[in-house]
């Protein structure tokens, strides 16, 4: 049964509703704008993740006579930006008599059931395929299918030629999981429809052309086709916009809802008719505006009209915007759970406005939303923060514009807490602040990574609302709740500092989050000065010449010329003097012990602040075996945190000789052993 709703009977309700919305006028969301100079003016765009990397991509095409019949795929980077496009030519080869088709619509979906995103383009050639009475020659319009390949590439187009095509709609009409199409097929100005069911090979099975009842008059053009389950019976229904230009002088514009049978066919003989005012354009979007699980119809013409689905009948409300609107995009932009409406106003502004929802399917007054003249827009989460952003292209000029919706902008500061001492523990304070317009996304959250340099070892990391751990030198902390705009949080990262750490240690930390559009402040570096004791050793001997059989005293002096106490954290300085051959350890002073009979080991105990000294003494007896030689005695000081070896060693060189008295006695003993006779006695200093 056909039911017609009256546009005039709902006008009073519309004005009352507008008054209510004005009292509760909501402001549009805040956006950060990026402009990318690139190719390709376009008249059609849509967002889809073509390669399954969770980064939303943008697909564009142009349908006017200047078009190069090319589809452009802009791969998203995940932070609201796009790579240079990959372009796919889908027109007919040059020289073909019908090589100038217009790209009327593009769709994405899985045509062949392989789980990959495919692109479907509807092309027609009205200049050569139909005469003035719309008597159309066969095979002049066609459907081009770009089958998705691994990595986000697409195949060469598969083509299905058709006699006529003006507009198309896409959806799964028979429940097989493959993308199907409905196109209008006018013959002799008689409105007709064809169904194209997707096949596993990427092609389509085309139905016979069927007319709706009643047939509209010949001033009507179908300007939009939508597919949705309008009555919740599990079958996809057909919605189309029969539009008439306000200056044509005839015809009645209207929308029709035709029930689907669930198998790819429709009950075209019985439809619900929804009245619409005449205007300059005729766009349509189907969405559940008031969240009653019944799809509503949003249509543009002289303004924006919302046709609320009441379960078989429709209640229409108009929102006046300038002279007319030519583009419609619907989505929950302000994250209140209710869809908002974005529309392009033809005059006087020639720019976009947003009609923000205030809940229950009601809307506030429009607010300016600038994308520029002659632009089209697509909604998608282009920076993975859970919010719908806007990507815009221009009909006449090249470039892509993205407006990121309340994006977060995370900054990290890396600071050290107090002084760092070699051989001890130190703490970094990692501050993360959200400088952006909105909170971070719940999904994905915020991640801080810190790859510690070799001289640092992870001990612990603590912070409220963070979970932290480490694998080897890589520390990772994940925030368990969103970080609001303007909020700052701190992670205390404690590390163990190697005793042999260099005097300066570079530590680099990074922060990342879905939605963060500004990479310039995502890294925080800290160069920490590591304080070390620096022990310098000096060595002296009591006598300038050593004599065989004599007892000689050595003095070892250790001085801390560094900038921290050598006794800090229980670290000990040790002096080792390995005696050279010909020296016999005779005695050791305080703090020293014999080292295996061949040397001395002295240990510094107690505090040794910067400038402090420790003095040790020991004695040796000089044996006859080294008489007449120069003997070098060396010593070395060591400390776990002393990283300057240049002053750790000291040595003393002495010549060893026999004492003069000892030489005379030896000569006298030899004289007594000789026969008694007169001799001269030679006395020399041996």
Does 610 lie in the same domain as 473?
Answer: no
- Provide the domain count of the chain: 3
- The answer to the question of residue 680 being in a domain is no
> Beta-strand (E) ranges in 463-598?
466-471, 474-479, 488-497, 504-513, 523-531, 535-541, 546-547, 551-560, 573-578, 583-588, 592-595
Select from 375, 405, 435 the last residue of a domain. 405
The answer, yes or no, to whether residue 1 has pLDDT greater than 50, is no
Does 391 lie in the same domain as 341?
Answer: yes
- The answer to the question of residue 124 being in a domain is yes
Q: Which of 299-313, 593-607, 639-653 has the highest mean pLDDT?
A: 639-653
Q: Is 161 exposed, middle or buried (0-12, 13-18, 19+ CB in 10 A)?
A: middle
Does 461 lie in the same domain as 348?
Answer: no
Residue pLDDT, tens place only, 147-174: 999 989 999 999 988 877 888 999 999 9
Query: How far apart, in Å, are the Cα atoms of 350 and each of 133, 337, 374, 604?
Result: 34, 29, 7, 85
CATH code at position 213: 2.130.10.130
Q: Is 221 exposed, middle or buried (0-12, 13-18, 19+ CB in 10 A)?
A: buried
Per-residue pLDDT at 254: 87
- The answer to the question of residue 169 being in a domain is yes
Of 14-23, 212-221, 344-353, 471-480, the one with minimum mean pLDDT is: 14-23
Q: Are 439 and 484 in contact (CB under 8 A)?
A: yes
* 74 CA to centre of own chain: 17
> Beta-strand (E) ranges in 75-215?
86-89, 102-109, 118-124, 141-146, 158-162, 168-171, 180-184, 193-198, 204-206
Per-residue pLDDT at 370: 82
Does 504 lie in the same domain as 600?
Answer: no
Does 474 lie in the same domain as 366?
Answer: no
Cα separation, 564 vs 530, whole angstroms: 10
Cα separation, 569 vs 607, whole angstroms: 11
CATH code at position 578: 2.60.40.1530
Residue 142 backbone zone (phi > 0: left; psi -120 to 50: alpha; other: beta):
beta
- Parallel, antiparallel, or unpaired for β 367-369 and 351-355? antiparallel
Cα separation, 216 vs 590, whole angstroms: 116
Q: Are 363 and 319 in contact (CB under 8 A)?
A: yes
- The answer to the question of residue 634 being in a domain is yes
Q: Are 402 and 478 in contact (CB under 8 A)?
A: no
Cα separation, 307 vs 502, whole angstroms: 72
Give 546's contacts (C-beta < 8 A, 6+ positions apart). 552, 622, 631, 654, 655, 656, 657
> Beta-strand (E) ranges in 313-472?
314-320, 324-331, 340-347, 351-355, 357-359, 362-363, 367-369, 375-380, 389-394, 400-405, 410-417, 420-421, 425-434, 446-451, 456-462, 466-471
Q: 514 φ, ψ to 5°?
A: -60, 135
Select from 481, 513, 531 the last residue of a domain. 531
Of 178-192, 358-372, 453-467, 658-672, the one with minimum mean pLDDT is: 658-672
Cα separation, 397 vs 41, whole angstroms: 5
Q: Are 242 and 224 in contact (CB under 8 A)?
A: no
Buried-exposed string 380-402: b where 16+ CB fall within 10 A, e elsewhere: bbbbbbbbbbbbbbbbeeeebbb
CATH code at position 517: 2.60.40.740
Of 152-156, 333-337, 435-439, the one with minimum mean pLDDT is: 333-337
The closest of 566, 562, 546 to 554, measured between CA atoms, is 546
Does 543 lie in the same domain as 525?
Answer: no
Select from 481, 515, 531 the last residue of a domain. 531
Does 547 lie in the same domain as 444?
Answer: no
Cα separation, 91 vs 71, whole angstroms: 10
Does 542 lie in the same domain as 524?
Answer: no
Cα separation, 288 vs 24, whole angstroms: 21
- The answer to the question of residue 304 being in a domain is yes
Does 510 lie in the same domain as 592?
Answer: no
- The answer to the question of residue 672 being in a domain is no
Does 153 lie in the same domain as 121?
Answer: yes
DSSP string, 585-601: EEEE-TTEEEETTTEEE
Buried-exposed string 275-287: b where 16+ CB fall within 10 A, e elsewhere: bbebbbbbbbbbb
| pLDDT, average across residues 384-408 | 92
Q: Which of 144-158, 293-307, 316-330 has the highest mean pLDDT?
A: 144-158
Cα separation, 109 vs 356, whole angstroms: 29
- The answer to the question of residue 684 being in a domain is no
Residue pLDDT, tens place only, 651-662: 999 999 987 765
- The answer to the question of residue 673 being in a domain is no
DSSP string, 339-364: -EEEEEEEETT-EEEEE-EEETTEE-
Residue 469 belongs to domain spanning: 410-531
Does 365 lie in the same domain as 342?
Answer: yes
Per-residue pLDDT at 206: 92
Does 45 lie in the same domain as 151?
Answer: yes
Per-residue pLDDT at 22: 40
Whole-number average pLDDT of the chain: 85
Cα separation, 507 vs 472, whole angstroms: 15
Give 471's contacts (C-beta < 8 A, 6+ positions apart). none
Residue pLDDT, tens place only, 506-561: 999 999 999 999 999 999 999 999 999 999 999 999 999 999 999 999 999 999 99
Residue 126 backbone zone (phi > 0: left; psi -120 to 50: alpha; other: beta):
alpha
Q: Which residue has the higher pLDDT, 661 or 146?
A: 146
| pLDDT, average across residues 215-221 | 71
Per-residue pLDDT at 680: 42
Give 95's contacts (C-beta < 8 A, 6+ positions apart). none
């Amino acid at each position: 049964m056909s039911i017609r709703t009256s546009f005039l009977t709902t006008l009073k309700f519309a004005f009352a509703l507008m008054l209510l919305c004005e009292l509760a006028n909501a402001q549009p969301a805040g956006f950060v704008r990026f402009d990318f100079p690139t190719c390709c003016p376009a008249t059609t765009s849509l967002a889809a993740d073509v390669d399954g990397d969770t980064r939303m991509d943008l697909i564009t095409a142009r349908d006017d006579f200047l078009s190069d019949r090319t589809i452009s795929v802009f791969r998203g980077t995940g932070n609201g930006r796009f790579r240079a496009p990959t372009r796919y030519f889908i027109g007919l080869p040059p020289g073909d008599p019908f090589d100038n088709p217009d790209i009327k619509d593009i769709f994405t979906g899985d045509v062949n059931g392989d789980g990959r995103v495919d692109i479907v383009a509807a092309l027609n050639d009205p200049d050569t395929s139909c005469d003035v009475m719309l008597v159309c020659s066969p095979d002049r319009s066609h459907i081009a299918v770009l089958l998705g390949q691994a990595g986000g590439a697409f195949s060469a187009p598969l083509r299905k030629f058709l006699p006529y095509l003006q507009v198309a709609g896409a959806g799964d009409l028979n429940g097989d999981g493959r993308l199907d199409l409905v196109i209008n097929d006018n013959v002799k100005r008689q409105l007709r429809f064809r169904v194209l069911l997707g096949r596993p090979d990427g092609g389509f099975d085309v139905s016979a052309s069927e007319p709706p009842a009643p047939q509209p008059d010949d001033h009507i053009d179908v300007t939009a086709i939508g597919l949705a389950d309008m009555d919740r019976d599990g079958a996809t229904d057909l919605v189309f916009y029969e539009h008439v230009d306000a200056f044509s002088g005839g015809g009645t514009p209207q929308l029709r809802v035709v029930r689907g049978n669930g198998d790819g066919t429709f009950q075209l003989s019985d439809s619900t008719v929804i009245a619409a005012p005449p205007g300059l354009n005729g766009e349509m979007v189907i969405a559940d505006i008031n969240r009653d699980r019944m799809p509503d119809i949003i249509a543009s013409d002289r303004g924006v009209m919302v046709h609320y689905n009441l379960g078989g009948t429709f209640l229409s409300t108009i929102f006046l915007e300038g002279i007319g609107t030519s583009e419609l995009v619907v989505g929950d932009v302000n994250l209140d759970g209710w869809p908002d409406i974005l529309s392009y106003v033809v005059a006087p502004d020639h720019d976009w406005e947003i009609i923000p929802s205030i809940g229950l399917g009601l809307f506030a007054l429009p607010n300016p939303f600038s994308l520029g003249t002659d632009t089209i827009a697509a909604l998608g989460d282009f920076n993975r923060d859970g919010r719908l952003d806007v990507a815009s292209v221009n009909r006449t000029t090249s470039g892509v514009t993205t407006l990121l919706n309340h994006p977060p902008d995370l900054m990290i500061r890396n600071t050290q807490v107090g002084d760092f001492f070699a051989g001890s523990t130190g703490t970094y304070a990692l501050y993360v602040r959200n400088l952006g317009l909105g909170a971070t996304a719940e999904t994905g959250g915020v991640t801080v990574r810190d790859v510690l340099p070799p001289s640092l070892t992870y001990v612990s990391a603590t912070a409220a609302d963070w979970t932290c751990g480490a694998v080897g030198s890589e520390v990772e902390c994940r925030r368990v709740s969103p970080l609001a705009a303007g909020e700052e949080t701190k992670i205390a990262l404690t590390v163990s500092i190697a005793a042999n750490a260099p005097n300066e240690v570079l530590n680099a930390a990074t922060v990342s989050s879905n939605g963060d559009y500004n990479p310039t402040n995502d890294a925080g570096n800290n160069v920490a000065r590591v304080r070390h004791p620096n022990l310098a050793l000096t060595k002296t001997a009591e006598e300038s010449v050593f004599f065989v059989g004599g007892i000689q005293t050595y003095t070892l002096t250790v001085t801390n010329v560094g900038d921290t106490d050598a006794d800090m954290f229980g670290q000990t300085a040790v002096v080792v003097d390995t005696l050279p051959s010909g020296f016999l350890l005779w005695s050791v002073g305080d703090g020293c012990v014999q080292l295996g009979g061949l040397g001395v080991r002295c240990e510094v105990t107690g505090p040794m602040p910067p400038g402090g000294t420790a003095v040790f003494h020991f004695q040796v007896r000089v044996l006859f075996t080294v008489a007449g030689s120069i003997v070098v005695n060396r010593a070395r000081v060591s400390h776990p945190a002393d990283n300057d070896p240049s002053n750790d060693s000291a040595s003393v060189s002495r010549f060893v000789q026999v004492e003069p008295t000892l030489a005379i006695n030896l000569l006298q003993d030899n004289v007594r052993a000789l026969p008694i006779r007169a001799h001269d006695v030679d006395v020399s200093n041996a």
